[in-house]
Amino acid sequence: MPFIPHTETEIGEMLAAIGAPSIDALFDEIPAALRIKSLAAIPDALSEMEVGRLMQARANQDGRPLNFLGAGAYEHHIPAAVWAIVTRGEFYSAYTPYQAEASQGTLQLLYEYQTMMSSLTGMEVSNASLYDGASALAEACLMAVRAHRKSKSARIVVPSTLNPTYLSVSRAVVEGQNLSFTVLPYEAGKGTLQFSKLEALKGEDLTAVVIQQPNFFGQMEDVDAITDWAHANNALVIAVVNPLSLALFKPPGEWGSKGVDIVVGDGQPLGVPLSSGGPYFGFMTTRMEHVRQMPGRIIGRTVDLDGKQGFTLTLQAREQHIRRSKATSNICTNQGLLVTAATIHMSLLGAAGLESVAATSQRQAAKLVEKLTRIPGVKVVFDGYRFHEAVLQLPVKVSDVLDALAKRNIVGGLDLSKLYPELGNALLVCATEMRTDADLDAYASALAAVLERKP
Amino acid sequence: MPFIPHTETEIGEMLAAIGAPSIDALFDEIPAALRIKSLAAIPDALSEMEVGRLMQARANQDGRPLNFLGAGAYEHHIPAAVWAIVTRGEFYSAYTPYQAEASQGTLQLLYEYQTMMSSLTGMEVSNASLYDGASALAEACLMAVRAHRKSKSARIVVPSTLNPTYLSVSRAVVEGQNLSFTVLPYEAGKGTLQFSKLEALKGEDLTAVVIQQPNFFGQMEDVDAITDWAHANNALVIAVVNPLSLALFKPPGEWGSKGVDIVVGDGQPLGVPLSSGGPYFGFMTTRMEHVRQMPGRIIGRTVDLDGKQGFTLTLQAREQHIRRSKATSNICTNQGLLVTAATIHMSLLGAAGLESVAATSQRQAAKLVEKLTRIPGVKVVFDGYRFHEAVLQLPVKVSDVLDALAKRNIVGGLDLSKLYPELGNALLVCATEMRTDADLDAYASALAAVLERKP
Amino acid sequence: MSITEPLIFKHSRSGRSAVGQYPQGASAEVPEKFRRRKRAALPEVSELQAVRHFTRLSQLNFSIDTHFYPLGSCTMKYNPRACNAFAMLPEFLGRHPLAPNSVSQGFLSCLYELQEMLKEVTGMKGVSLTPMAGAQGEFAGVAMIRAYHRARNDLERTEIIVPDAAHGTNPATATMCGCTVVEIPSLSNGDIDIDALKAALGPKTAGIMLTNPSTLGVFERRIQEVAKLVHDAGGLLYYDGANLNAILGKVRPGDMGFDVIHMNLHKTFSTPHGGGGPGSGAVGVGQRLLPFLPIPTVGKEGDNYRWLDEKDVPQTIGRLSAFMGNAGVLLRAYVYMRMLGREGMHRVAEFSALNANYLLARLKKAGFDAAYPERRASHEFIITMKRQAKELGVNAMDFAKRLLDYGFHAPTTYFPLLVPECLLIEPTETEAKEELDAFVDALIAIQAEAEQDAAKVKGAPYTLPVRRLDDVRAAKQLDLTYGMRNTE
Amino acid sequence: MSITEPLIFKHSRSGRSAVGQYPQGASAEVPEKFRRRKRAALPEVSELQAVRHFTRLSQLNFSIDTHFYPLGSCTMKYNPRACNAFAMLPEFLGRHPLAPNSVSQGFLSCLYELQEMLKEVTGMKGVSLTPMAGAQGEFAGVAMIRAYHRARNDLERTEIIVPDAAHGTNPATATMCGCTVVEIPSLSNGDIDIDALKAALGPKTAGIMLTNPSTLGVFERRIQEVAKLVHDAGGLLYYDGANLNAILGKVRPGDMGFDVIHMNLHKTFSTPHGGGGPGSGAVGVGQRLLPFLPIPTVGKEGDNYRWLDEKDVPQTIGRLSAFMGNAGVLLRAYVYMRMLGREGMHRVAEFSALNANYLLARLKKAGFDAAYPERRASHEFIITMKRQAKELGVNAMDFAKRLLDYGFHAPTTYFPLLVPECLLIEPTETEAKEELDAFVDALIAIQAEAEQDAAKVKGAPYTLPVRRLDDVRAAKQLDLTYGMRNTE
Ligand SMILES: Cc1ncc(COP(=O)(O)O)c(C=O)c1O
Ligand SMILES: Cc1ncc(COP(=O)(O)O)c(C=O)c1O
């Protein structure tokens, strides 16, 4: 029996000890009428060899196309050491560190992670992860409402340059709790928040203003001005950031004159493979004053009976298993293993390494834009400083182009025509340090061919 | 500096402590004229990302053809757990267990391995590995000469059905030591040792007789008769076996009336991937009476100062680091990590699992032979009981066929025409449990097409 | 062996770095206003130092791969290595979540079949795999219940009934969904107090959240009656699938009358828990809630798989993650289910129940107090140390900590809250009898120690990297990042 | 933490098995005469039990990934994880060794380039990668020397000169090649005794085997003179490349006058040692020995790579392995060399020398006795505990064992044989200064312990899975397999 160690003899001995005539008898409290007859739709067991063959066949169907898609998930080099360590049984197969003394490895690592994330974002404290960037934003909105007692509106201002899925997820998650979102448009030609629309909200009760930097188009927002405006207007500021970009860019803790209040984002660029969308991890950092409103687990350093340093889950009174219906969130299981990856990844790259990766990504993306816009009919949509993504305008329907590129084994980017119809045939492209010049050329010539309808 | 942790400050401090003006000064005992000027032929450093891309490109060149080659290296399913554990740093990056107290993991594992190999081969003791099957046979020949004091001839009888490379390697290794090999032909149509040729040696001083079971053609030798004959004629018997096959077949320790004297072989079928030929591992087991003549490391169980059980290298007086020019062999580094894989592999499969793998391999090979011999012009060369390989005769030159099959992404087997010219267009094919019926059909139709000179 | 390891920051030296890991010579011209002024205080270490540090840290953990881990409600069973290996095939790892369907058919087919298999084992009509953990699955479930009532214009239904034995995520979820929580007690035999349930039901009832078997380790025998009562009152039934391991292949939540269920794939379907996550809280629904399933799900048309989104499920409660939940966890669960196959599903409940009931029988015989001595254990059960706490001053936590010294992870302590001094013990089906026997022996030995030398047990653990930690200090003198306090 | 683990056989129960790992229902009809009667006594365990057992066993080891491991002559430096990852790409793992060249160009190109790079760093004219460890490389080298003399019909040359400091494999290899060993002493400054060398040289001299720097940790300064003497006498020079790390990128054996060299790729080129192996003992040769290189090697014609065999190298000493040596180890070395690149090669010797000389300087300052105090350390050096053994009764082994308690692997003990009570210490270039400092602190602390309480040091280790083991009993009461003795 796969994964079942029991021998016939042992089964007999165990039933005897229980005093039950059969294994089936152990289920005699279940009403007989309810008992399953068969699970006809479940296929027969496969051996590991067979399932391996099956999975490889499935994987081969998808292949390994050359990727120019970002839009919230980015392909970066991950040192081989990272996942070699992450998948060690002691990390991989442990539960949440409830028994601190038997979990010092995970706990110390999480404390180190909290330190790194706080420093990277320029904030004071970090939790030990949330599910992903999108749901972390939802949690940040709820947290802002709790933290900003003076604001009664539960009204959150978001720019339309925020990743649209992050807004969808936030709406879905806060649905039951009477928060409202006010979406502000972007400046045509610039692709950044139309500041005048923000100004127009002056005097209204706003709980928080969300800023994504770099924004969904890859453009850089005037984060200082927005942060200061929000604080001047008694709103908290929630920053949504790509943690890798913070190696180059001013951390949210330094935006404006006093820094933002809550920082969230997706930690995926820090050592987590694209892996079809997950598992990634959401991060959240904040000021010390808000720590008790923060959702998710937090690790603290303390001492043991002998005065020796050790690490443990702390501030658990915020959490569902203690506070139940009054908890800051219902989150329990988080994304610990991905945080393990990120912590090792950040340790291996260091600040210098992250900076270099970010700078190279930006350089390759700029080259990509340059190469693609040499093709007749392909234009850059927005001016201004960009990180490693850009919006391009194509002369024809984007989805057709992407399909044609996919046939050439290229994942060409994200079709923006449904999310931002006003942009017409707009395509969001991305390049990271993983895309060589040859890759960029391959894309450019494929795109040129597709646009000329060459076979 | 990749892999170098030194900071500029530290370099300065360290040189100061040494009292050297520069790192270069540390090499001042080397005659100046000898110092390297440049290593022009070494390319610039690549980052891990770059070398990863390079290696993947090289790997892609080779692809993953469907394999029907055996001839001493066999493709079997290896449980995912095996290499996940083998590559744990504690196994992967440890040295030989010289400090027993700090190496109990490796030592206990090796003791377990010795137990398993002894039982599998039906012998009393095992060493902790030699390089590979071929060189293990060479060591076995040398060992036989040492162990068989009464024989003065240093003459080893080998059947021509022994893997020809094993014989080449043995010749190369024993070259300096005046051993001689007498090669006996096989029975035409049967592919097993021509017993009469052995009988003809009666009365001569033979040090040992080598028997490979199953032999290089995949056929089964009459091992009982050969063993008894050898013992009756005062020769030792060295068995060369595929360890997996021993799950089905009588172990060498039970061949004839008293079993063989030394067993060697390649452990590759026990959890080691084909990996282009290595690293594999050679194993050797023997009778207790010969243990002091055995080359290679041996682990023993003992007790510590508190009387607690522990494991340590033992009988080191046989080895080069103690006995120097009088050692049983010069072997030092062996194939420990592969033994680690094999030990985990054998533990996961157990005797029942190995038996099932062997039986399935045999079944698939039989099916393969059946399917291929349905093709006009393709015939089985030898009668008799076979394990999972077979010699086929083709109507045309084998190397041309193999080239054509390779273009169809099939590695079709081994061309025997150079090794055994008398067999004509002979091909050695193999199938294991990894080859599905669909795989066999794919081979059959490819071969049929190739023989019909279809494109 | 190595029993402590300094913080990674202690290994850091300015200028040290694993330079092979990043492109050399790149720099970006960042406009002054966006430029970071001071580098983040990440460690500066060599590759060896990082590898050694984190390898050593890992060794400080207990885990399934190293220890028996009978943590009740957590289903710490063997996480097959094959699941990891096949979920991490380079093609899957390299696939961008928004890649076109044409280069995603392999991945999508796995998800589709996983949906189908989960429907079959739960008796549900539709499944969405997107929730990223149990709690998010609960959220999805309760949000669907609310959406259902709202769609029927039944706007008053905002109360969620929750038994006192429920996991904390249940009430917390209800609150997150904007509901109010009505708690009902359990009877002394572990079943729900039906009278209390009846009293709680009414026109405001949106639904009830149940775990069955409950976290008390017993099966709710009157589940059909409960279902009828709730349905008759206009409410829906939510099944917290954390305990699905207990009944897999034996009885299906759909057949018990539940309208919605979440499954902790990281429990019943054996994806690893990763020291805290990731998990997956896939949800299944009956007919009534089908229109509200969170998106995306995977549909099949002919031989073609594609994402289903708001266009296909216009009444959906929406998206819960930026992409498709914890995709890699889903692949692991898929591989696991394919390896178990039909017969294997049945065996999960059978052998987890056999192990739990055996362990309970042996512990009862050894003199320990079962919380529900008259009941069958499900896949887990509770013993209470109330007597030991009172008579010897040795409480459940002391037993738990001392177990660590004996080489066993502790059971869940002090949950569920209603049983005093409780240990919730879940051996799972993948543990061998001799492991259970050794665990019983350890508890017996600790009992003897407690009787002879209570202080010894109360001082445990002794053999771990640290002795018992000061949680109060941790919460009072917050030290949450290196550098926050002047401590070294 | 887990400090012992029973034998796997203790977890075994008749009928237990990880059935998911093999095909079900297969059986073979084996003729009676070939049939196995009784199954082998392999363990019968579940997958979890196997995983847990071997994971726990692994934790009982010291290793580079967990500990500083200054084992002299063994070059225990960081084994980059990338080397493992890229050598284990599925295409390489799945490649059959005898696959046609047309589906092997990727693999062959790596080996070809590795040959070229090794030629460059050693100053040799040809390289064969086939030897599977240092000792087999030595065998290949001496066999080539013999073949060379024989080819010239110079049949008397059967003596191999070996300094007393040589590694045991050197004389053992000479014997294996049918040569006789002539040992010559070292001077008290660590250099070879040139007079003794002169006396040993003669018409029977086949060659000399040298390690330079020698295993005494010092560079043979008169190497040019030695080379001239040996060559003039008609012998050839063999370079034991175990210590190549000390000179990589600084001086080349070919330029020193050596005719043949083996390289321990598992040392200088950082492939992992795997708890005993595999290694690789690639050999390089100068012009004279080119015709004798062991096969196969890889040749390049145009853009095409192919195996070279006896047809290409008719005078070859032959094959040493069934296929192509330890191919996977070669790929690891290739990756490593590509990551180091040209500059990185130079750094290897520079920083291994810096670390060794720093450690030596600090230990001398702390009062320890260097074996060759006037000499530069190479990448390693010797301290002798002769004084401590005499004065305190605490010997080199006691220091070594006590170091384990301090969390450091011990240096090599009692080798080379000519230095009494020696510790041969090789820190390697990948260790950080603070690690070296901590090691010095530990030795100082142990020295203090030895002075105060010799018995304490002699009783070490205390904190490892076992205390000091009884080697004598191990050799006398042989217990080599479970079941051999009546012990449990
Ligand atoms: C009974 C019960 N319900 C819900 C949950 C929540 O699941 P998760 O931790 O995946 O969010 C758990 C897990 O701890 C549980 O045990
Ligand atoms: C100086 C020296 N020569 C030769 C060898 C033998 O190398 P191997 O162990 O790879 O056979 C070693 C390794 O132990 C060594 O240190």
**Does any domain span residue B104?**
yes
Looking at the fold, whether B229 and B294 belong to one and the same domain comes out as yes
Tokens linked to C332 = 């692991």
* pLDDT tens per residue across span B306-343: 999 999 999 998 888 888 888 899 999 999 999 999 99
**Does any domain span residue C323?**
yes
* pLDDT tens per residue across span C24-70: 988 889 999 999 999 999 999 999 999 999 999 999 999 999 999 99
Chain D residues whose beta carbon lies within 8 Å of the beta carbon of residue B354:
22, 40, 42
Q: Tell which of A14, A82, A93, A124 to mutate to test the C interface (max C CBs under 10 Å).
A: A93
Q: What is the mean pLDDT of residues C377-397?
A: 98
The residues, any chain, with a CB within 8 Å of residue C309's CB and separated by 6 or more, are C295, C296
Chain D residue nearest residue C2, CA to CA:
D407
* pLDDT tens per residue across span C214-265: 999 999 999 999 999 999 999 999 999 999 999 999 999 999 999 999 999 9
Amino acid A129: pLDDT: 98
Any C CB within 8 A of A291 CB: yes
Amino acid A429: pLDDT: 98
CA A271 to ligand 1 center in whole angstroms: 27
Output the DSSP codes for B184-249. Answer: EPBPTTT-SB-HHHHHTTTTS--SEEEEEES-TTSBPP-HHHHHHHHHHTT-EEEEEE-GGGGGTB
The total number of structural domains that make up chain C = 1
Q: Given pLDDT bands bounded at 50, 70 and 90, which one contains residue D1?
A: very low
* pLDDT tens per residue across span A141-167: 999 999 999 999 999 999 999 999 999
Last residue of a domain, one of B283, B315, B344: B344
Inter-chain contact D23–A47, Cβ cutoff 8 Å? yes
CA dist list (Å): B106 to A301, B98, C146, D274: 35, 11, 59, 9
* pLDDT tens per residue across span D13-55: 999 999 999 999 888 899 999 999 999 999 999 999 999 999 9
**Does any domain span residue B28?**
yes
Instruction: List, as ranges, residues 23-52 from B with C-beta within 8 Å of C.
Output: 45, 47-49
* pLDDT tens per residue across span A88-144: 999 999 999 999 999 999 999 999 999 999 999 999 999 999 999 999 999 999 999
Asked if A425 and A417 touch (Cβ cutoff 8 Å), the reply is yes
CA A352 to ligand 1 center in whole angstroms: 40
Q: How many CB atoms lie within 10 A of CB B228?
A: 16
Closest by Cβ to B80, choosing from A48, A79, A88 = A48
**Does any domain span residue A296?**
yes
Last residue of a domain, one of B303, B324, B344: B344
CA–CA min distance A82, chain B (Å): 13
Looking at the fold, whether A155 and A42 belong to one and the same domain comes out as no
Minimal-distance CA residue to ligand 1 atom 7: C134
* pLDDT tens per residue across span B332-341: 999 999 999 9
Looking at the fold, whether A376 and A289 belong to one and the same domain comes out as no
Q: Is the pLDDT of residue B26 over 90?
A: yes
Domain range holding C305?
A: 82-340
Q: Given pLDDT bands bounded at 50, 70 and 90, which one contains residue B455?
A: low
Question: Best mutation site among D73, D129, D210, D378 for ligand 2, i.e. most ligand atoms within 8 A of its Cβ?
Answer: D73
* pLDDT tens per residue across span D361-420: 999 999 999 999 999 999 999 999 999 999 999 999 999 999 999 999 999 999 999 999
Looking at the fold, whether A196 and A92 belong to one and the same domain comes out as yes
Amino acid C485: pLDDT: 84
Closest by Cβ to A89, choosing from D15, D47, D51 = D51
**Does any domain span residue C129?**
yes
Tokens linked to B337 = 């990590």
* pLDDT tens per residue across span D74-132: 999 999 999 999 999 999 999 999 999 999 999 999 999 999 999 999 999 999 999 99
**Does any domain span residue C368?**
no
* pLDDT tens per residue across span A354-369: 999 999 999 999 999 9
* Residue closest to C47 by CA, chosen among D136, D198, A353, A15: A353
Cα-Cα end-to-end distance for chain D: 23
Last residue of a domain, one of A311, A344, A377: A344
- Give CA–CA dist A24/D135, Å, rounded: 62
**Does any domain span residue C57?**
no
Q: What is the CATH number of the domain that holds B147?
A: 3.40.640.10
Q: What is the mean pLDDT of residues B223-228?
A: 98
**Does any domain span residue A349?**
no
The total number of structural domains that make up chain A = 3
Looking at the fold, whether B29 and B119 belong to one and the same domain comes out as no
Inter-chain contact D18–A2, Cβ cutoff 8 Å? yes
With residue D298 as reference, give the H or E element that holds it.
strand D297-301
Looking at the fold, whether A363 and A313 belong to one and the same domain comes out as no
Chain C residue nearest residue D344, CA to CA:
C20
Inter-chain contact C84–B80, Cβ cutoff 8 Å? yes
Chain A residues whose beta carbon lies within 8 Å of the beta carbon of residue D84:
80, 84
Looking at the fold, whether A56 and A112 belong to one and the same domain comes out as no
Q: What is the mean pLDDT of residues B159-183?
A: 97
**Does any domain span residue B349?**
no
Inter-chain contact B2–C19, Cβ cutoff 8 Å? yes
Q: What is the CATH number of the domain that holds C219?
A: 3.40.640.10
Q: Is the pLDDT of residue C488 over 70?
A: no
Q: What is the CATH number of the domain that holds A70?
A: 3.90.1150.10
CA–CA min distance A352, chain B (Å): 13
- Give CA–CA dist D195/B222, Å, rounded: 61
**Does any domain span residue C142?**
yes
* pLDDT tens per residue across span B230-270: 999 999 999 999 999 999 999 999 999 999 999 999 999 99
Asked if B390 and B379 touch (Cβ cutoff 8 Å), the reply is no
Looking at the fold, whether B317 and B382 belong to one and the same domain comes out as no
Looking at the fold, whether B100 and B25 belong to one and the same domain comes out as no
The mean predicted confidence, pLDDT, of chain D is 97
Chain B residues whose beta carbon lies within 8 Å of the beta carbon of residue C61:
none
In chain C, pLDDT over 70 holds for what percent of residues?
Answer: 99
Closest by Cβ to D97, choosing from B246, B274, B323 = B274
Q: Which chains touch A (3 or more CB pairs under 8 A)?
A: B, C, D
Q: Is the pLDDT of residue D487 over 80?
A: no
Report helix, strand or coil for B262: strand
Q: Given pLDDT bands bounded at 50, 70 and 90, which one contains residue B296?
A: very high
CA–CA min distance A347, chain B (Å): 13
Residue C135 Cα: closest atom of ligand 1: 11
More confident residue, A58 or B325: A58
The residues, any chain, with a CB within 8 Å of residue A51's CB and separated by 6 or more, are C82, C86, C335, C338, C339
Looking at the fold, whether B194 and B244 belong to one and the same domain comes out as yes
CA C169 to ligand 1 center in whole angstroms: 7
What residues flank ligand 1, with Cβ below 6 Å?
A: A 332-333; C 73, 133-135, 167, 169, 211, 215, 240, 242, 264, 279, 281
Strand order in the sheet with C283-285: C126-128, C283-285, C260-263, C236-241, C205-210, C159-163, C180-184
In chain A, pLDDT over 70 holds for what percent of residues?
Answer: 100
* Residue closest to B420 by CA, chosen among B233, B217, B258: B217
- Dihedrals φ, ψ of B414, to 5°? -110, 130
**Does any domain span residue A2?**
no
CA–CA min distance C270, chain D (Å): 12
Looking at the fold, whether B378 and B423 belong to one and the same domain comes out as yes
Amino acid B1: pLDDT: 83
The residues, any chain, with a CB within 8 Å of residue C203's CB and separated by 6 or more, are C156, C157, C233, C234
* pLDDT tens per residue across span B378-425: 999 999 999 999 999 999 999 999 999 999 999 999 999 999 999 999
CA dist list (Å): C347 to A29, C254, C401: 18, 20, 32
**Does any domain span residue B3?**
no
Q: How many CB atoms lie within 10 A of CB D392?
A: 18
Q: Given pLDDT bands bounded at 50, 70 and 90, which one contains residue C2?
A: very low
Looking at the fold, whether B258 and B394 belong to one and the same domain comes out as no
Chain C residues whose beta carbon lies within 8 Å of the beta carbon of residue B53:
none
CA D135 to ligand 2 center in whole angstroms: 6
Domain range holding A422?
A: 66-76+354-451
What residues flank ligand 2, with Cβ below 6 Å?
A: B 332-333; D 73, 133-135, 167, 169, 211, 215, 240, 242, 264, 279, 281
Minimal-distance CA residue to ligand 2 atom 9: B333
Amino acid A348: pLDDT: 98
The mean predicted confidence, pLDDT, of chain C is 97
Residue C215 Cα: closest atom of ligand 1: 1
Inter-chain contact D46–A5, Cβ cutoff 8 Å? yes
Inter-chain contact D15–A80, Cβ cutoff 8 Å? no
Any B CB within 8 A of D14 CB: no
Any A CB within 8 A of B84 CB: yes
Amino acid B326: pLDDT: 86
Q: What is the mean pLDDT of residues C162-175?
A: 95
**Does any domain span residue A331?**
yes
- Give CA–CA dist A430/B36, Å, rounded: 45
Question: Best mutation site among D69, D74, D169, D426 for ligand 2, i.e. most ligand atoms within 8 A of its Cβ?
Answer: D169
Tokens linked to B405 = 């099959």
